Amino acid sequence: MLLASLNPSAVAAGHDVGDAVRIDGATLSRSDLVGAATSVAERVAGAGRVAVLATPTATTVLAVTGCLIAGVPVVPVPADVGAAERRHILNDSGAVAWLGEVPAEPEGLPHVPVRLHARSWHRYAEPSPDATAMIIYTSGTTGPPKGVVISRRAIAADIDALATAWAWTPEDTLVHGLPLFHVHGLILGLLGSLRIGNRFVHTGKPSPAAYAAAGGSLYFGVPTVWSRVVSDLDAALALSSARLLVSGSAPLPVPVFDDLVRLTGHAPVERYGSTESLITLSTLVDGERRPGWVGLPLAGVQTRLADDDGAPVSHDGATIGRLEVRGPALFDGYVNRPDATAEVLDADGWYHTGDVAVIDGDGMHRIVGRESVDLIKSGGYRIGAGEIETVLLGHAGVDEAAVVGLPDADLGQRIVAFVVGSAAPKELIDHVAQQLSTHKRPREVRVVDALPRNAMGKVLKKELS
């Protein structure tokens, strides 16, 4: 059963939890979840794909859960998405209705309300593991967002593998304040909790104070969240009682990693994945947690590195290659895009991630970044932007840094660093040249007020030029 903790028989047998989910001022017991979500299932059973405006509310929790009980695919729609992108998501996915909250412009779709206090105890047969659970749309950085088809089997396999890697159990209380329209917040945070049976707390905005007050044992955050936590001494000290801090969705700067160790006593777990693959790599609860490295393949996952010609790349911890992964949590394809699917998912089941990475002799992975923006080819060298960013962030006068390769008539690409902080550009260029090979130094440093980021805290490098 995908949502194993919501088995009606188990709840009826006395395995209820009075505060299974806390979100947006609402507290739902496990029996509340079963009864209210099953009521939702009765309202949508037999429907096609259903759109859910994925706000961090009890309504969203019950809408998603009800659809999964009924076997109806969910299309999570970001609450802050623009009208044109929302229209594309609805038209492309073939959503037949809004379930729960409705945006100001519903695009002509009918509305099915979620009634928080309604209850049903109807029993639904568990859908096939191969059935589509949800369609999550990518951020659309290379064109219109693509709908990623994710099966029930993939979600179950990924959560179970993470439970092993992180010793994640029903005794945990998982806390995060991340969006419920991405893998990190929705699948790992919410569905992970409903499968494993731990308490789930959504803090709303992921502020340091909210994290500190939640009293969790397991915390999820993006680097921006952890950066704010280590800047708030009281909040950081409060998290020392947690069991595990997990960082993902973007690289965690080494200085933030070090500050978390110093202030909370916890070396954070870092992991890597994507909408298409879910989570494939992670450091382990009982293994090495090395700053800047995202660990080992999860159970059932295989990885490989390839060069520009497709030949294998040495696992020497330094040579950069294109990362490809294969495993039980891969997506089933893009909606209406067989061409795009074929470009990234080959006949042997390998997903070409579009990321570049290095692997060392022990199998540890370090993600260099996206091949399109983080692999810089300058003067005949292949240079990873992340390595330079790490060095810049180690300078006391740098708060944030993003490195890109911009066109250059002589070098092919020149290394340009965009920095938030007080340090002088010449000082930073010299700093990198002292720490790394000379050819990796930025040719230019631009001091800016802020870096452009998306809702998950990822820097939008294509906006830097």
- Calculate the alpha carbon distances from 294 to 287, 288, 352, 367, 413 in Å: 12, 10, 18, 7, 28
pTM, two decimals, is: 0.88
Residues 241/244/245/248 CA torsion (nearest 10 deg): -170
At residue 455 the predicted structure's pLDDT band, cuts being 50, 70 and 90, is low
Average the pLDDT over 355-363 and give the result.
Answer: 95
Per residue in 32-52, pLDDT (tens digit) is: 999 999 999 999 999 999 999
Closest Cα partner for 188 from 292, 269, 113, 290?
269
Most confident region among 148-157, 392-401, 422-431 by mean pLDDT: 148-157
- The β-bridge partners of 279 are 273
Query: Cβ neighbours of residue 334 under 8 Å, at least 6 residues apart?
Result: 146, 147, 148, 149, 340, 341
Whether 76 has a pLDDT exceeding 60, the answer reads yes
Mean pLDDT of the chain: 93
Among 66-75, 104-113, 404-413, the range scoring the smallest mean pLDDT is 404-413
Q: What is the mean pLDDT of residues 303-311?
A: 92
pLDDT for 119 beyond 70: yes
**Residue 140 pLDDT grade (very low, low, confident, very high; cuts 50, 70, 90):** low
Quickly count: other Cβ atoms within 10 Å of residue 55's Cβ: 19
How far apart CA 465 and CA 454 sit, in angstroms, is 17
Residue 435 confidence (pLDDT) above 60: yes
Instruction: Please give the DSSP secondary-structure letter assigned to residue 119.
Output: -
Residues paired with residue 85 on neighbouring β-strands, in sequence order: none
Distance CA 244, CA 219 (A): 6
Q: Mean pLDDT across the stretch 243-267?
A: 93
Buried-state track 196-217, b at ≥16 Cβ within 10 A, e below 16: bbbbbbbbeebbbebbbebebb
Domains and CATH numbers, the chain: 4-193 (3.40.50.12780), 194-370 (3.40.50.12780), 379-463 (3.30.300.30)
Mean pLDDT of all residues in 227-236: 96
Specify the pLDDT at position 10. 61
Strand order in the sheet with 26-28: 26-28, 21-23, 199-202, 173-176, 218-221, 244-247, 269-274, 278-282, 296-297
Q: Of 10, 14, 6, nearest to 30 (Cα)?
A: 6
